[in-house]
Every structure is written in structure tokens, then in C-alpha cells.
Amino acid sequence: MLSNLIQAVFLGGYYAMVACGLSFMFSVMRIINLAHGSLAILSAYLLYVLAQKFNINPFLGLLIVVPVMATLGWILQRYLLDRSAKGGELLPVLTTFGIAIVLDNLMFQRFGADTRSLAPYIGDLSWASYALPGGLFVGKLQILVLMTVIVVIGALQLFLKKTQLGRSIRATAMDPDTAGLVGIDAKRATAAATAIAMATVALAGAFLGMRATFEPYSGTPQLLAAFEATVIGGIGSLWGTLAGGIILAIAQTLGASVHPQGFLLGGHLAFLIVLFFRLHRNRDAILTWLRVRTA
């Protein structure tokens, strides 16, 4: 059981790695990026191509893929999401849904239905583990993922608090109109925020490919896990997302210990319970919001 719980914490770290970009984008632009999972898969494929065709180790490949994904994020926000946001709150979400469909099918066309993995390109890292006293084993890759997500979230927090661009992103997240009045270019701030979110997506895609297999339609389950972790942790809170990821993974592990098929169900239940309490606590606020909307 203890071993299971420890594995769950590490799995939670991976969920948080996938979720932190989603959470970040939502807190700044109020956009739920439904293409989040597919973009992670795209990063995994990019790393795969670099490794297979050019013999570039996936860790070195990240030096190329992270900037590529960040640039893609910038373009996405500037030329698609920003424009669709003019049509109301729902339109950007639909846009990301469309991007997900296009990406999934492009990847299917290019790479086919075969499952791929980055594991063969990283030596023994995908399966090597440390033996802990008490007969516990912890995978080296899992430790690397958890440490990376802690560093990424810590760095993001510092960046938001201490840097010029970070402050402009925070101000834009709080109130884009007022941000404009004090001289902040909201378009630039949101484009930068999306670029950063996509950089974290590149990392998430790399770890996904290293720890498991992926195929063109693997994005949706990733999105689902990320979304649940984000909601459980409290939307907009990055450390909360880490906690949310871990809670989700523990719930899944508990679910699996009840019934072999209970893994995903346990996670969904935890998500629904948290969602229910959140909605209940904010009932008045939500009702007022609905009334204002429908008035």
C-alpha cells in the first residue's frame, strides 16, 4: 500500500506537469485550452522524429522543441485565440476544440495508428529505479518528472512575481482593460503567457513519451487528467495544481485497489466530489452570475 501511495505521488507529479500549462492559460486568459493534450502529443512526436531521424537524444531535443512550441503558442494566441475572443467567451474554447481535431488528424495522417515511445532513446532511464529500504522502488524517471514540475512551478511563480513581463501578465489576468490604461500591452502579455504554457506542454509531452507510449489520439486522456487536476487543485493556483495532480493520482490508486477497473473511476469520483463542494460553496455567486447572464 505504501508503495502504491508513493507511486501515486509521483504519478501526481506527472499529472501536474501536464496540467500546469492548462491552469496557467486558464488563469490568465480564461480559456480552457481543449487542444492542450493534443499539443503535448505533438511535442512528443516532434521529439520522436528528432530522435529517430536525426539521432538526437530527447533531452537535447527539448532544446529545439521547447522554443518551437513556445513560438507556436505565441502565434496561436496572437492570430487565433485573441481574434476569436472578440466573439465572446465561448468562441476561443471552440477554437481550441477545432485545433485539437485538426492536430489529432494531421498526426494520424503523418504517423499512422502505430504507438510510439521515446523510451528507447533515453537509455535505461525509463525503467531504472532506486531501491529504498523496506523493499520500495522508485523510478529514476519518476523522480526526474516530480523534480522538474516542482522547479517549473517554482520558476513560474518567481517569474510572475518578480519580473516585468510576469507582473504585466498578472495585471492582465486580473483586469485586461485597466492593464491597458496603465500602459500594458494586453495582447503581448497574453501571447507571452501562452508561449510559456506551451513550453511547459513541450516538457509534458517529452515525459509522456518517455514514461509510456503514445499515438495520435492520446491527447484527450491527457487533457482529461490535466483538467481534473486543475479543478481539484483550484483553478489559477499553480501549487494547487500540483496538489490536485497528487490527489487525483491517489484517488485513482485507491480506486484501483478497490477494483481492478477502478483506476480512472476513482479519479473521476474525486474530481466530482471536489467540483460538487466548490459549486455548493459558491452557489450564491454562481446563481448571481447566471441571473446577470440571463437578465
For residue 131, the cross-strand partners are 137
Binding residues for another protein, rule CB under 8 A, total: 17
CB of 166 to another protein, least distance (A): 10
Q: Interacting stretch for another protein, rule CB under 8 A, among 4-12, 52-60, 82-90, 179-187?
A: 179-187
Site for another protein in 135-164 (CB under 8 A): 164
C-alpha 160/C-alpha 220 separation (Å) is: 29
Q: Interacting stretch for another protein, rule CB under 8 A, among 77-85, 103-111, 178-186, 252-260?
A: 178-186
For the beta carbon of residue 265, count every other beta carbon within 10 angstroms.
15
Q: What is the DSSP letter of 116?
A: B
69 vs 192, beta carbon nearer another protein: 192
CB of 179 to another protein, least distance (A): 8
Applying CB under 8 A, which of residues 168, 230, 252, 253 lies at the interface with another protein? 168
- State which amino acid sits at residue 123: G
124 vs 185, beta carbon nearer another protein: 185
Distance set, CA 230 to CA 4, 127, 136, 158, 219 (Å): 22, 28, 29, 20, 16
The answer to whether the beta carbons of residues 171 and 178 sit under 8 Å apart is yes
Which residue, chain included where needed, has cell 512526436? 45
Q: Which residues of 192-201 are buried (b: 16+ CB within 10 A; e: fewer)?
A: bbbbbbbbbb
Q: Grid coordinates standing for 205? A: 509531452
C-alpha 142/C-alpha 56 separation (Å) is: 22
153 vs 251, beta carbon nearer another protein: 153
Q: Interacting stretch for another protein, rule CB under 8 A, among 17-25, 55-63, 105-113, 183-191?
A: 183-191
Using CB under 8 A as the binding rule, whether residue 184 contacts another protein is answered as yes
C-alpha 21/C-alpha 29 separation (Å) is: 12
Q: Interacting stretch for another protein, rule CB under 8 A, among 16-24, 87-95, 174-182, 213-221?
A: 174-182
Applying CB under 8 A, which of residues 118, 186, 254, 270 lies at the interface with another protein? 186
Give the footprint of another protein on this chain (CB under 8 A).
164, 167-168, 170-171, 174-175, 177-186
